[in-house]
Amino acid sequence: MTETTSDEVRRDVKQWLADNWDPDLGLLEWRTKLVESGWATPTWPAEWFGRGLPGWADPIVHDEFAAAGAVGTAVGGGMGLAAPTLLAHGSDEQKQRLLPRAITGEDTWCQLFSEPTNGSDLAGLATHAERDGDEWVVNGQKLWSTSAHHADLGLLLARTDPDVPKHRGISYFVLPMHQPGIEVRPVHQMNEHSSFNEVFLSDARVPAANLVGRPGDGWRIAMTTLAFERQFATVRAKSGVTPVGRAAEEAAAEAEEYFKTYAWYPQRAGRADLVQQVAELQGRTGDPIARQHMAGLVALRRAHEWTARRAQAARAAGRPPGSEGSLGKLAASRVAQASARTHSLLAGADGQLSHADSLLDGIVTEVLLSVPAQSIAGGTDEIQHNIIGERVLGLPREPPVTG
Ligand SMILES: Cc1cc2nc3c(=O)[nH]c(=O)nc-3n(C[C@H](O)[C@H](O)[C@H](O)COP(=O)(O)OP(=O)(O)OC[C@H]3O[C@@H](n4cnc5c(N)ncnc54)[C@H](O)[C@@H]3O)c2cc1C
């Protein structure tokens, strides 16, 4: 078998776009064509809506779509979390039914893992599901469920066997969110946003066909989702391109709506890009202590970028997510914290004001209130340290907590 070269991929995708991209198509119609062609997800297997190309093909295809002004897959947890999990562990029927709708954005998804007393100790989760004919009946409570207020489907972990060790009694389900047994209550955050929710499950129903893997496989499958979550982009990429045509306008509106939930995520990441501006506004650019903090921040960011590029290169080479995910997540926390400290030093008491009274219309205050979340979401810094210690450095495992 001869191997496809990057020039051939570029030529083929260019040709396909020249023959098929039509800005006047509706978004769903265009994305349905994309699903059929395999160019939406070129590195997925050919039998599952891809073209079976190696990881290096993704950026090439992406560049050609951008050059043509063509729209790609839907944004959000469907493509970021659900699709890679289902590709790895779903049944053929689940892949056939759910993957195309993740690509087109017809279904939106949320992740229902954490509970009020089980975040880091996820394996101790108490929500349970019992089999009842062709369905599972779920009872319990989830917490911090981002976007659950507008999701069609949830990636749900529930205990199905209380009599085996905790990691082995968990199952993984695709939960239909629009049903009477589910109540979603938004949580009001200290930064005034409300992106996550409490989700109450009272005799909620899941069709048996929506169990992913076998009963008891849930923990292993959840590890796949979490590995992809560590590299899941929730900050909008700057395109600078004005959408032209119906499909592009509909995609821009979809992204606009989706990113409302994540409007505070750039602030959560520390807004190191604003530090120089704040120093100028406060007249502190000559202050040696402030300069030392600012220089330290630049160095940290640069090192973090290199780790991120290593992770990208690993993906492009077709390697599954590895330790770079935990290292990168930890580095992002360090950058956010260093940035918040620098903003705080520069802003002084102004950092305690909000909205128009504050620096940059309240952005700096929002940074200070949002950065703590960076060290918690997707697994806390301490948990990343444990993962790096045990899986990367091969140190002895943390002693289990009993009782
Ligand atoms: C912005 C945001 C979005 C989120 N979105 C979602 C979502 O969509 N879906 C979802 O399911 N969850 C979501 N979460 C929840 C998140 O995964 C949990 O908050 C996180 O795993 C921590 O769990 P916890 O809040 O229960 O804290 P705890 O686990 O109670 O931790 C409290 C403290 O104890 C420390 N700690 C705990 N165990 C250990 C240990 N073994 N060793 C050392 N230190 C330890 C922690 O590091 C932390 O400092 C989100 C959280 C945030 C902040």
What would the pLDDT profile of 144-196 be if each residue is shown by its tens digit? 999 999 999 999 999 999 999 999 999 999 999 999 999 999 999 999 999 99
The average pLDDT across 61-88 equals 94
Contact, 137 vs 105, CB < 8 A? no
Number of Cβ atoms within 10 Å of the Cβ of 285: 13
- Whole-angstrom distance, CA of residue 84 vs CA of residue 205: 24
194: Cβ below 6 Å to ligand 1?
Answer: no
- Whole-angstrom distance, CA of residue 300 vs CA of residue 72: 33
β-pair type (153-159, 109-112): parallel
- Give the residues across from 199 on adjacent strands: 142, 184
Average pLDDT of the chain, as a whole number: 92
Ligand 1 centre and the CA of 379: distance in Å? 6
The per-residue pLDDT for 326 is: 79
Which pLDDT band holds residue 327 (cuts at 50, 70, 90)?
confident
The per-residue pLDDT for 401 is: 61
Which pLDDT band holds residue 357 (cuts at 50, 70, 90)?
confident
Q: Locate the ligand 1 atom nearest the alpha carbon of residue 142 and give its number.
A: 11
The per-residue pLDDT for 55 is: 86
C-alpha dihedral, 13 to 16 to 21 to 27, nearest 10°? -70
196: Cβ below 6 Å to ligand 1?
Answer: yes
- Whole-angstrom distance, CA of residue 87 vs CA of residue 108: 17
> Nearest CA to 40 among 203, 271, 251?
251
Structure tokens at 317: 């080479």
The average pLDDT across 194-199 equals 96
Which pLDDT band holds residue 4 (cuts at 50, 70, 90)?
confident
Per-residue pLDDT tens for 228-241?
Answer: 886 666 655 555 56
The per-residue pLDDT for 398 is: 78
Q: Does residue 112 carry a pLDDT above 70?
A: yes
The per-residue pLDDT for 403 is: 44
> Nearest CA to 16 among 41, 43, 31, 34?
34
Question: In a 10 Å sphere around its CB, with 0-12 CB exposed, 13-18 middle and 19+ buried, how is residue 26 labelled?
Answer: exposed
119: Cβ below 6 Å to ligand 1?
Answer: yes
- pTM, two decimal places: 0.91
Q: Does residue 250 carry a pLDDT above 70?
A: yes
Ligand 1 centre and the CA of 376: distance in Å? 5
Number of Cβ atoms within 10 Å of the Cβ of 177: 22
337: Cβ below 6 Å to ligand 1?
Answer: no
145: Cβ below 6 Å to ligand 1?
Answer: yes
> Nearest CA to 284 among 335, 225, 346?
346
The average pLDDT across 314-327 equals 75
Percentage of the chain surpassing pLDDT 90? Answer: 79
- Long-range contacts: 133-138, Cβ < 8 Å, 24+? 134/207, 134/208, 135/205, 135/206, 135/207, 135/208, 136/160, 136/171, 136/173, 136/205, 136/206, 136/208, 136/211, 137/203, 137/204, 137/205, 138/173, 138/175, 138/181, 138/201, 138/203, 138/204, 138/205, 138/206
Higher pLDDT residue, 287 or 387? Answer: 287
Q: Best substitution site from 120, 177, 190 to test ligand 1's pocket, by max atoms within 8 Å of Cβ? A: 120
Which pLDDT band holds residue 227 (cuts at 50, 70, 90)?
confident
Ligand 1 centre and the CA of 229: distance in Å? 14
Which pLDDT band holds residue 2 (cuts at 50, 70, 90)?
low
Ligand 1 centre and the CA of 120: distance in Å? 5
Structure tokens at 29: 């119609």
Q: Does residue 44 carry a pLDDT above 90?
A: yes
**Counting every residue, how long is the chain?**
403
Ligand 1 centre and the CA of 383: distance in Å? 9
265: Cβ below 6 Å to ligand 1?
Answer: no
Contact, 41 vs 82, CB < 8 A? no
Ligand 1 centre and the CA of 143: distance in Å? 10
Ligand 1 centre and the CA of 90: distance in Å? 27
Structure tokens at 351: 């950092």
